[in-house]
Chain A
Amino acid sequence: MSANASAPAGQVPDAAGHFGRFGGRFVPEALVAALDELDAAYRKAMTDEAFLAEFGALLRDYAGTPSLLYSAERFSAKAGARILLKREDLNHTGAHKVRNVLGQALLTKRMGKKRVIAETGAGQHGVATATAAALFDLECVVYMGEVDTERQSLNVARMRMLGATVVPVTTGSRTLKDAMNEAMRDWVANVDDTHYLIGTAAGPHPFPEMVRDFVRGIGEEARQQCLDLTGTLPDAVAACVGGGSNALGIFHAFVPDTGVRLYGFEAGGEGVETGRHAASITGGSAGVLHGTRTYVLQNSDGQTIESHSISAGLDYPGVGPEHAWLHDSGRASYAPVTDREAMAAFELLCRTEGIIPAIESAHALAGALKIAPTLAAELGRGPLIVVNLSGRGDKDVHTAGEYFGILDKE
């Protein structure tokens, strides 16, 4: 009965959205019709020249892609590796997420829906969704954990300026996972006229596959840019992983290049051993959360454990199912990066390159710093590493200022 068992070997995901033992649909029946409608619209769009042309034009003329691939010389000198930064932080709205929201907003229009809802952690996806909603004249409601509305108040203001309604979520841990619960509840009740614009490659089928497809341009661009710049493919690609869309976006084009190592860096918080972290793959176990089977932070009863990270965008107790599968299959490697390591890399990029990264992206930078010596020893030369600089750090200035103790006292 399960499509999982009957799918042709090697076809990932299968028609029901299974990545090996992960993925699928664990949702109320009320949502199945909408997910089927979305799946059909998405598959039609991906082979529709008119859709692809419109999406491509928006990415180019509105979002400002392809983003640069920048050779970070001074950072490289400190890293002992040649580091190429995929500058997704330069995209309109300041992160890779604009790619996904433009794709989904176009689909929303095609499905004839007038309203989008979204969940957001750091606020980046909320801002991106509010932006696309303004551009496409859609009503927009963003659910955001109350804890996050406090630590990301500037992004709350940005969403409101763009015309979105921001709903602080006060249930549970009052962070991203609870915002996602609340958005799902809204969707169940308003599915006729509403699209749930999920911000990462997680959730029920077809979201993980669809979101990956909308952001996979990151890796396609980076691969070609790396070849143009260096004449070779990189030794490794590094990205941070919360839900995991930026990482899948940059990994996807490199998956067939078996000589290119793929590294996903999860939020290790205060250290995986302390229990205060958001590293679902390295510190969690297989389970079902938010409509998909994946790695989850949970207790032995299957109750979700609250995650912790200095980065609101990585502070989520699950991960996209394709990452769970890439981990199990061994094609990608996942490791935790602590708050402390991420902030050290954050500071290093600021001081060496004059680029303030998102704290999320600082996890990828820290990961690159960690793998560089090992790769160098193995290769017998300085490695070439592409790092996805998935977002800019303007939103994190307050958090980072407090962390480094550089804010003037009142």
Chain B
Amino acid sequence: MSRIGVAFDKARADGRAVLVGCMPAGFPTVEGSIAAMTAMVEAGVDVIEVEIPYSDPVMDGPVIQKASDIALAGGVRTADTLRIIEAVAATGAPVVTMTYWNPIEQYGVDAFARDLAAAGGTGLITPDLIPEEADEWLAASDAHGLDRTFLVSPSSTDARLRMTVEHCRGFVYATAIMGVTGARAQTSGAAPILVSRLREVTDLPVGVGLGVGTGAQAGTVAGYADGVIVGSALVRCLLDPPDEAAGLTALRTLSAELAEGVRNPVR
């Protein structure tokens, strides 16, 4: 079983959900992102999701796009992302990588899988790759023992849910709403329905993302999902404050609040 799978099993045994925290690689700088992700782990984030910054992130809202633009303007390369993953994996927390497909295709799918595995990454979340287009990634992830997290959506048909989870390994990512990343005032009513539909077709752990930004929301989602995925709200901690130290403080505070939330599932 993958390290992600172990993390989900352990959390399940503890009667809580896994907290997955996302941060773009190289934001605000390469070293700054390592510091940020390390702080998140120390404050209670179970799994770190390292997003490879991309010039055209169509599944991301303004917060993550802005952070990605800052990272790219700072000159971060795909090779830097692998270095960041290696550094964060050294903390002991499982590290999963979220990436749009083109950066992987240009690096070379098998080469990236090989180097990701060597860096200690557990696998990929692929927001714009559906299983039908994923032949090369299916083969490379098998060859290098990596997890595959495809997304499912409230609009996915039952047949597509079944097909998609058959191609997932590690966990499946349920997008809570029809929309892009970004914290929202209310948690989604569609998400619990989607998760229960998934339970019918898979035993894989289900992570729910999009729109979660507070400890209370994390607790609500933890009531029905195995994992709570938070991105934009954490990224904003580093975007808004005047300096990096203040940003890290805000990041630790929110991480701890979310970690508390997933330990108090609202059922």
Indicate if B42 sits at the interface (CB-CB under 8 A).
Answer: no
With A185-B180, A289-B102 in contact, do A29 and B130 touch (Cβ < 8 Å)?
yes
Within 8 A of A (CB), among B101-144: 101-107, 127-135, 138
Is B180 within 8 A of A189, CB to CB? yes
Residues of chain B within 8 A of A177, CB atoms compared:
56
List residues of chain A with CB within 8 A of the CB of B69.
171-172
Asked if B65 is at the interface (CB within 8 A of a chain A CB), the reply is yes
Determine whether A397 belongs to the interface, using a CB cutoff of 8 Å to chain B. no
Contact A29–B102 (Cβ < 8 Å)? no
Whether B55 pairs with A304 at a CB distance below 8 angstroms is yes
Q: Are B164 and A304 in contact (CB under 8 A)?
A: no
Q: Is B91 an interface residue (CB 8 A)?
A: no
Rounded to whole Å, the gap between the CB of A342 and the closest CB of chain B is 27
Answer yes or no: A40 CB below 8 A from chain B CBs: no
Q: How far is the CB of B110 from chain A (nearest CB, A)?
A: 15
B56 touches A30 (CB 8 A): no
Cβ contacts under 8 Å, A70 to chain B: none
Task: Return B84 CB to nearest CB of chain A, in Å.
Answer: 14
Distance (whole angstroms) from the CB of B148 to the closest CB of chain A: 13
Q: Are A26 and B132 in contact (CB under 8 A)?
A: no
Q: Is the CB of A29 within 8 A of B58?
A: no
Q: Looking at chain A's contact residues, is the secondary structure mostly helix, strand, loop, or mixed? A: mixed
Q: A29 touching B150 by the CB < 8 A rule?
A: yes
Among B56, B138, B164, residue most surrounded by chain A Cβ atoms (within 10 Å)? B56
Which of B55, B59, B101, B150 is packed against the most chain A CB atoms within 10 Å? Answer: B55
Of B104, B177, B178, which is in contact with the most chain A CB atoms at under 10 Å from its CB?
B178
Complex A-B: 13 CB contacts under 8 Å: A1-B138, A26-B133, A32-B155, A33-B156, A172-B69, A177-B56, A188-B59, A189-B179, A191-B178, A288-B128, A302-B54, A302-B102, A303-B54
Listed in ascending order, the chain A residues whose CB lies under 8 Å from chain B are 1-3, 5, 16, 24-34, 171-172, 177-178, 181, 184-185, 188-192, 287-291, 296, 298, 300-304
CB-CB nearest 7 A-B residue pairs: A302-B106, A30-B153, A302-B102, A189-B179, A302-B103, A33-B155, A304-B55
Given contacts A28-B127, A177-B56, A301-B103, 11 further A-B contacts (CB under 8 A): A26-B129, A29-B151, A33-B155, A171-B62, A171-B65, A172-B55, A181-B56, A191-B155, A191-B178, A288-B100, A300-B106
